[in-house]
Amino acid sequence: MSTLTIFNSARDAATTAPDASAGRPIPAVLGADLEVPVKGGRLVGYANLDYAASAPCLEPVSAAVAAALPAYSSVHRGAGYASQLTTARYEQARHTVRAFVGARPDDAVIFTRNTTDATNLLAGCLPEGTTTVVFDTEHHASLLPWPEAVRLAPPAFPGEAVRAADEALAGIDGPKLLVVTAASNVTGELWPIAALAHIAHRHGARILVDAAQLVPHRKLNLTALDLDYVAFSGHKLYAPFGAGVLVGRRDWLAEGEPYLKGGGAVRAVGDDVEWHDDPEPRHEAGTPNVLGAIALAAACDALTATGWTELVREEERLIARLRAGLASITGVRELSLWGDDHPRVGIVSFTVAGYSAREVAEALSGEYGIGVRDGKFCAHPFVRHLLGTADGGCEDGTASAVRASIGIGTTQEHVDRLVEAVRDLVARL
């Protein structure tokens, strides 16, 4: 199957179909006017280019939390009006998230702390003897939680990913789960999730898509893509209030060990314990993060109201400018698994010959007021693979890279400042 076939499939196209409710202006983020000190004590406007780690808060998200606070109360078990109102807001947040990812009506929507919490929750609910197939390109959140895992080498091209998954799944008996990221947190590259879902189902396997880096940048439609589970984090989706989510098929979740054991997860407790078999209460014991869920839903609403066409157009313009600028500097190498032209979200990782990644990141912050990430981005096997052994060595010999990532609130000036700062650093060598 060619790359083109994979990315032009009807089901992938369905994920980017225009949304009728779209068309509002792109919302603002809090902190757009933040000033930070640089060398010499000057203050400069902060160029936040670290969205892939945590995105700033959208104004409508902050407003939704502020609006919910006066009536904030316990959920599910309170008789008071404020409790009923807060419960309704919390459950409405579930519906909003369900609609945002295009989930099936009977899918479970479980609020978690973040993506890592969501993958670990699912890992604890796998039927006995499940084998998980996972690529070495994954973030640790999707690479590590599985009790029994087959790890596949980074594929040389998208069709190779499908072929390798096909071969691995064919060799496994019993329950199986394929885990794959939709957009890499290292390179931003999009993975052929529709084709991988198709292959998984042909082998009777299920698929979990780590959508942590996709949902802030692209529309996702779980039903159209025929995915079994998706996981993502609020703090990467402009809703930094400590909630994430796992969405997907109810049966494994209804039978799996309750994630936390305590109040809310039980129907009745006597000498025996009768656990809820609805996945939501079963795995949300204790007082949930109500404001986090409300924030997450407000972010979903705000992105949907803006519409993906406009968001994607602006992001693609800026990331193309950033990549072209970096490519024009001698000694800068962008990390990529599938080549320059492969579709990607607003993330670019790179090395600068003559500098460690830490030196670059520190200089960008201390001298230019630019925030980026350096390191291996919790994807150690993948970054090692991309760097080989020769590039990006820190003093301690650990290979690492610099990552710049963009989103709502990123300006052309931020992008140009980064390119010129790296050009300055190279000129000093």
Ligand X SMILES: Cc1ncc(COP(=O)(O)O)c(C=O)c1O
The residues that are catalytic are 378
Q: Tell which one of 96, 213, 289, 349 touches ligand X (CB under 6 A).
A: 213
Q: Which is nearer to ligand X, 296 or 311 (CB)?
A: 296
Place of tokens 């650093």: 425
The 3-state DSSP class for residue 261 equals coil
For the window 71-110, what string marks contact with ligand X as x by the rule CB under 6 A? ----------------------------------------
349 sits near ligand X (criterion: CB under 6 A): no
Q: Report d(CA 399, CA 414) in Å as an integer.
A: 27
Q: Tell which one of 62, 114, 120, 349 touches ligand X (CB under 6 A).
A: 114
Pairing of strands 131-135, 176-181: parallel
DSSP notation for 330-360: TTEEE--SS-TTS-B-SEEEEEETTS-HHHH
- How many residues bind to ligand X according to rule CB under 6 A? 15
Site for ligand X in 120-139 (CB under 6 A): 139
Q: Which is nearer to ligand X, 285 or 379 (CB)?
A: 379
Site for ligand X in 352-411 (CB under 6 A): 378
Among the candidate windows 38-46, 88-96, 111-119, 382-390, which touches ligand X by CB under 6 A? 111-119
Q: Report d(CA 347, CA 49) in Å as an integer.
A: 9
189 sits near ligand X (criterion: CB under 6 A): no
233 sits near ligand X (criterion: CB under 6 A): yes
For the chain, the C-alpha Rg in angstroms (whole number) is 22
210 sits near ligand X (criterion: CB under 6 A): yes
End-to-end CA distance of the chain: 45
Q: Are residues 289 and 241 in contact, defined by beta-carbon separation less than 8 angstroms?
A: yes
Q: Positive or negative CA dihedral for 288, 291, 294, 295?
A: negative
Task: Give the number of other CB atoms < 10 A from CB of residue 255.
Answer: 12
50 sits near ligand X (criterion: CB under 6 A): no
Q: Which is nearer to ligand X, 190 or 419 (CB)?
A: 190
> Which parts of this chain interact with ligand X (CB under 6 A)?
114-116, 139, 141-142, 181, 185, 210, 212-213, 233, 235, 244, 378
